[in-house]
Structure 1
């Protein structure tokens, strides 16, 4: 895709002004890093606050009194059980139990507010359009900013005092810096923080206001990836996809007992069978012994050289000072502290299966 055909977010001009290194990402011109650099951006987010542009994500609203009931026909999550202002992580699944996308749904008083991945946006819109028709509203006129880090709350309450009342996985409409926004206390870094849905025409002004705080630095996709991997969070298209089920992906916690029992969602037969009979492979966390980096596609072997799985995401974790990765292994090798070997540049590197997340999350419960 040429630069001329790339889509841009409402913050594109600001990214260039701030000296960002821009790259094509799922059809958008996006910042991979700013002059601070990926490593320092990562550490700044863990210790203070990072501002991310995630406006490439899809934002939608679903109206109608039966919205939650109908939505449950598409996902295995407990949407009808959401209290007002509460959020839920779930997945669109197909009839074979594979994951079409993962997403967040918020019960926003008189409608459902849905955020989906940029790479799957058109597919997801088609799925919801088929189910909801004219009750689906696509919010093409809004940007999405993520303010993440342990002091994010200190920064945001200066512009929106009521943001302090939110706890992890809750959201509400509020004025932020004079602009009408929908704010959720959520994010994809493992830190406390917020995602702010703001009218596109006001996005740059709001971003500038946030960046005037000495605690805040602009952060790009590079650090966002290392932050989410340390937090043990999946990236769609790498760690989960149409070939993986929520059970294999260690996401069974996102399916309530009621939904498991009723089995009234796409792929329920496979998922129920995997719950009762077990799975052949499982997503796990891995730490290498040494600093060799295991990248996506890296083979995982046992001590006898048998191929037992593959890495789906890997990087150096600046917060844990270790090479970390996640991937899928044959179920019998998924036990914590199991020693495995990674084929990295034709060398066998010892590694160990570990619990995820790799860091202690800073969520405000």
Structure 2
């Protein structure tokens, strides 16, 4: 643990009784006194506060903002040029083989683009952007801002007490809002499937902001354990597990994140790394697909569990990439990849757990419907 970095909220986590664990090079809270189950259910019912300051916050800027947008389209298969000011999109970096190097959020702030990237990938992401975009585009990794996520059905009411305009924001809107005396960059987004906000705040004000939000009776501090079970129930991918450098967006079921203009036949189709493979798969299909999985009984099927089409067959047809108990569902939930022939919802499969073949069925994603404010 001595070699790990700490977020600006480390002392607050310790004071709240958090259990700290290594994650993506940081000491992070996996749970607090409530425990993972109650933290998960509290976020679904009220509002939870997450420290996501380990993630990378990056600004792209050029003399002509359109230059930065056009340049970015050479690295990601999303419509950057068409993104309206003060709006945000989900995206991903692809490699020459059509795999996903990282998934991310990016926002058009008028004179610059603002990125949030995964903690374990942020150095590689910045290096990738600098190599491809500089000197025409300046790429700056911010070290002076923390990042909080306030998630849950009561998040709007809680944050609106600090500034009423946040209630007017739609899903994926972004705005600069003064909260608890700090200039905050707020997006109406998150990674729990619930309505909520991500709040970028200057490091010097991060602890005061967190305490101000936690002072509300509807807000509890939530750790990585519940963050993982929430995103799994919401059918959201965890980079390095459900998607990686070998997984294409088509295999991963992420083609909804590729706007029509960047697909085959679109005005700005292709032009990003791996476009040949991705365009071909969009047309011809793939041999494997990411699916939801519902194990029978109470025993979770964890990451790495091999999947088979029958209880006694020798041929493995898939693998679990994320799995655990879904507190809202009240049963085990999982995601994984299976051969396309076995990917239809309701298909009966078997997962091999400790040498035993246990029944599991392909399930529709998400397990819990999203609560985003459209």
Tell me if both proteins adopt one fold, taking TM over 0.5 as the criterion: yes
The residue number in structure 1 matching 2:282 is 275
The aligned residue for residue 108 of structure 2 is: 107
SS in 2 for 1:31: strand
Aligned residues: 363
Structure-2 separation of matches of 1:206 and 1:256: 36
Mapped to 2, the partners of 1:18 and 1:257 lie a distance apart of 46
Once residues 70 and 236 of structure 2 are traced to their aligned partners in structure 1, the CA distance between those partners, rounded to angstroms, is 27
Deviates more, 1:259-268 or 1:329-338: 259-268
What SS class does the counterpart of residue 154 from structure 1 fall into? Answer: helix
Structure 2 portions without partners, runs of 5+: none
How far is 1:281 from its partner?
0.3
1:341 has 2:350 as partner: yes
How large is the RMSD of aligned CA atoms in angstroms? 0.9
- Aligned mates of 1:38, 1:59 — CA distance in 2: 27
CA contact (8 A) 1:48 1:151 kept: yes
Distance in 2, matches of 1:202 and 1:257, equals 41
1:165 partnered with 2:172: no
One of 11, 17, 20 as aligned partner of 2:18: 20
Given that residues 42 and 223 in structure 1 are in contact (C-alpha distance below 8 angstroms), is that contact kept between their aligned partners in structure 2? yes
Deviation of 1:129 (Å): 1.5
Segment drifting more, 97-106 vs 130-139 = 130-139
Number of the residue aligned with 2:233: 230
Task: State the secondary structure of the residue aligned to 2:148.
Answer: strand
Picking from 359, 362, 365, the partner of 2:371 is: 362
Aligned equivalent of 2:327: 318
1:286-345 deviations in Å (ceiling 9; x for gaps):
001111110000001002523100000001000011111000000010001111111111
Equivalent residue in structure 2 for 1:137, among 113, 136, 140: 140
Counterpart Cα distance in 2 of 1:347 and 1:47: 36
Task: Specify the alignment match of 2:152 in structure 1.
Answer: 149
Show the counterpart of 1:63: 61
Shift of 1:269: 0.2
Contact kept in structure 2, 1:9 and 1:143, CA below 8 Å: yes
Distance 2:5 2:61 in 1: 28
Matched-pair contact (CA < 8 Å) for 1:175–1:181: yes
Alignment correspondent of 2:120: 119
Q: Helix, strand or coil for the counterpart of 1:76?
A: coil
Structure 1 CA distance, aligned partners of 2:338 and 2:128? 31
How far is the alpha carbon of 1:255 from its aligned partner?
A: 1.0
Tell me the TM-score normalised to structure 2 length. 0.96
The equivalences for 1:286-325 within 5 A come to 286-303=293-310, 305=313, 306-325=315-334
Deviation of the 1:353 alpha carbon: 0.5
Report the counterpart of residue 9 of structure 1 in structure 2. 7
Report the 3-state secondary structure (helix = DSSP H, G, I; strand = E; otherwise coil) of the residue aligned with 2:325.
strand
Selected match of 1:246 from 244, 249, 254: 249
CA shift digits 1:119-157 (9 cap, x unpaired): 101100101112333622211100000000000000001
1:204 paired to 2:217: no
Residue number among 33, 37, 40 corresponding to 1:39 in the alignment = 37
Q: Distance in 1 between matches of 2:58 and 2:184?
A: 14
Partner SS state of residue 263, structure 2: helix
1:265 deviates by 0.7
Question: What is the alpha-carbon distance in structure 2 between the residues aligned to residue 195 and residue 345 of structure 1?
Answer: 40
**Whole-angstrom distance in 1 between the partners of 2:20 and 2:282:** 43
**Match in the other structure for 2:272:** 265
Q: CA deviation at 1:100?
A: 0.3
Q: In 2, are the aligned partners of 1:148 and 1:189 still within 8 Å (CA)?
A: yes
Displacement of 1:247 in angstroms is 0.3
Find the aligned partners of 2:280 and 2:49 in 1 and give their Cα distance.
Answer: 42
Q: Within 2, Cα distance between the matches of 1:44 and 1:155?
A: 14
3-state SS of 1:5 partner: coil
